[in-house]
């Protein structure tokens, strides 16, 4: 199967395979055909939780300027207790990007083959924590560039990453937007690591799934990991071009990580906008599933503030924040498809809010 430079099936094959791809078939590196069924919503929301969610979302339906007010607050306000208690910010420059990071979440890499494990380098990436302050759930990262591919794979290896979420493409309308940090074919070495693509699945026109094999030549040990690449979210558009495919993409990742105990790497060009929006949506939905009837509050603004405390600048603009609220409504809507009156009211409210936010 021939491919274009950013990993899409070439135009020669698109016309022949488009129908098959829409039906959910996938193609691996040896052109064998298998099926990948559509991901279903697997979580149920109780009546009490539904009432809480609807009471929060009704506020947005009644006053859409709430999005503007919350975004203004997020971008201009830092609570006094955060100013006094949090460690100082570090101002770093990697690949020409000036960015701020918190000392407590900054990822530090190590010199290979040293018993002392002496710290020696930074990556433009930050740990993102959820409910457990000792266990990061994500690593928010800038996409690798030629000078930092080895750093990137070292980070993946040292933190035992099994899933990478790529929210960008290598080329966009002929312009270079990043670099391919995996080989087109065969095995490629980056520092002490050998990387090989085991398979590639063209699930639909909007995203790809790849399986990588990585070997540490110093220790001789090896692992496999999965990369999910979403292609329909370019630098021009602040939000994904296709909401259903983006939510399907998220569900596949969630299912793949259902028993994973190590952080998932999420990266885009700057490691802030697209990366932040994806993590914000994922953590908001995880909270619903994890807390269930015990959930006391749902505050999207506070959640984003919590994330920006860990990596300043996550979610780049108001459009992305507004899209998050709409995408959250869509997933909640899918969870709330029940036959009782509460469910019917919730469906109507969520559909109305989606139309307003995603128009």
The model's pLDDT over 242-252, given as tens digits with 9 standing for 90+, comes to 888 999 999 99
Q: In the Cβ-directed half-sphere of 214, how many Cα atoms lie within 13 Å?
A: 27
As to burial, measured by CB atoms within 10 angstroms (0-12 exposed, 13-18 middle, 19+ buried), residue 139 is buried
- CB contact at 8 A, 314 and 308: yes
CA distance 193 to 223: 11
- Bridge partner list, 164: 227, 265
Dist CA 178 CA 208 (whole Å): 17
- Separation CA 263–CA 140 (nearest Å): 10
* Least-confidence region, from 179-193, 219-233, 236-250: 236-250
Q: 3-state DSSP call for residue 95?
A: coil
pLDDT at 82: 47
- Extended beta strands in the chain, E state: 25-27, 33-35, 89-94, 97-102, 106-110, 119-129, 136-142, 163-166, 171-172, 175-176, 187-190, 193-204, 207-216, 222-230, 264-268
Per-residue model confidence (pLDDT) at position 198: 95
DSSP element (H, E) containing 103: none
Q: What's domain 11-40+88-316's architecture?
A: Alpha-Beta Complex (3.90)
Look at the block and give the residue holding tokens 């009490």: 48
Output the pLDDT for position 294. Answer: 65
284, with CB counted inside 10 A (0-12, 13-18, 19+), is buried
- Say if residue 15's pLDDT is above 90: no
- Per-residue pLDDT reduced to its tens digit, 63-112: 878 999 999 999 887 654 444 443 444 444 444 444 445 666 778 787 65
Q: What's the gap between Cα 73 and its chain centre?
A: 24
- Contacts by residues 329-337 (CB-CB < 8 Å, ≥ 24 positions apart): 329/57, 329/353, 329/354, 329/357, 330/243, 330/247, 330/354, 331/41, 331/247, 331/281, 331/285, 332/45, 332/53, 332/57, 332/288, 334/41, 335/41, 335/43, 335/44, 335/45, 335/288, 336/45, 336/50
Q: Could you tell me if residue 207 is left (phi over 0), alpha (psi between -120 and 50 degrees) or otherwise beta?
A: beta
Cα separations in angstroms, 287 against 169, 280, 284, 347, 349: 30, 11, 5, 20, 21
| Mean per-residue pLDDT, 321-337 | 84
* pLDDT tier at 353, thresholds 50, 70, 90: low
pLDDT of the residue at 315: 94
Higher-confidence position of 114 and 67: 67
CA distance 279 to 268: 12
Residue among 141, 170, 153 at smallest CA distance from 314 = 141
- In contact, 230 and 169? CB cutoff 8 Å: no
Helix (H, G, I), strand (E, B) or coil at 94: strand
| The pLDDT value given to residue 25 | 37
268 is annotated as an active-site residue: yes
**Which residue, among 317, 310, 322, has the nearest Cα to 353 in the 3D structure?**
322
Cα gap 251→31, rounded to integer Å: 25
Both tokens of residue 305? Answer: 């503030």
Cβ-Cβ contacts under 8 Å for 36 (sequence gap 6 or more): 24, 25, 26, 201, 203
Which residue among the candidates 179, 260, 268, 301 is catalytic per the annotation? 268
Residue burial 67-78, b: 16+ Cβ < 10 Å; e: rest: beebbeebeeee
Read off the pLDDT band of 152 (50, 70, 90): very high
Helix (H) or strand (E) holding 254: helix 243-256
Exposed (0-12), middle (13-18) or buried (19+): which is 107, by Cβ within 10 Å? Answer: buried
Q: Where are the domains of the chain?
A: 11-40+88-316
Q: What is the pLDDT of residue 236?
A: 72
């Amino acid at each position: 199967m021939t491919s274009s430079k950013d990993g899409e099936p070439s135009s020669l094959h698109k016309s022949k395979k488009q129908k098959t791809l829409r039906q959910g078939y996938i193609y691996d590196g040896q052109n064998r055909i298998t099926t990948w069924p559509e991901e279903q919503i697997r979580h149920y929301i109780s009546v009490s939780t539904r009432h809480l969610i609807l009471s929060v979302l009704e506020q947005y339906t009644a006053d859409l300027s709430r999005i503007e007010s919350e975004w203004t607050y997020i971008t201009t306000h830092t609570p006094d207790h955060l100013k006094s208690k949090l460690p100082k910010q570090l101002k770093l420059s990697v690949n020409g990007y000036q960015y701020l990071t918190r000392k407590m979440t900054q990822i530090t890499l190590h010199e290979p083959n040293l018993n002392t494990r002496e710290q020696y380098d930074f990556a433009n990436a930050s740990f993102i924590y959820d409910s457990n302050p000792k266990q990061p759930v994500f690593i928010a990262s800038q996409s690798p560039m030629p000078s930092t591919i080895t750093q990137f794979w070292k980070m993946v290896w040292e933190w035992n990453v099994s899933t990478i979420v790529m929210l960008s493409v290598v080329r966009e309308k002929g312009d270079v937007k990043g670099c391919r940090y995996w080989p087109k074919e065969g095995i490629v070495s980056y520092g002490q690591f050998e990387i090989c693509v085991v398979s590639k699945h063209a699930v639909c026109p909007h995203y790809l799934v790849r399986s990588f094999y990585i070997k540490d030549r110093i220790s001789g040990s090896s692992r496999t990991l999965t990369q999910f690449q979403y292609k329909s979210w370019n630098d021009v558009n602040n939000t994904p071009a296709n909401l259903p495919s983006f939510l399907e993409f998220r569900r596949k990742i969630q299912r793949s990580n259902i028993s994973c105990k190590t952080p998932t790497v999420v990266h885009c060009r700057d490691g802030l906008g697209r990366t932040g929006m994806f993590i914000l949506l994922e953590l908001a939905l995880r909270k619903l599933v994890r807390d269930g009837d015990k959930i006391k509050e749902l505050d999207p603004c506070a959640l984003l503030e919590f994330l920006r405390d860990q990596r300043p600048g996550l979610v780049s603009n108001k459009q992305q924040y507004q899209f998050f609220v709409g995408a959250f409504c869509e997933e909640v809507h899918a969870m709330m498809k029940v036959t009782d009156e509460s469910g019917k009211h919730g469906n109507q409210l969520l559909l109305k809010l989606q139309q307003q936010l995603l128009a």
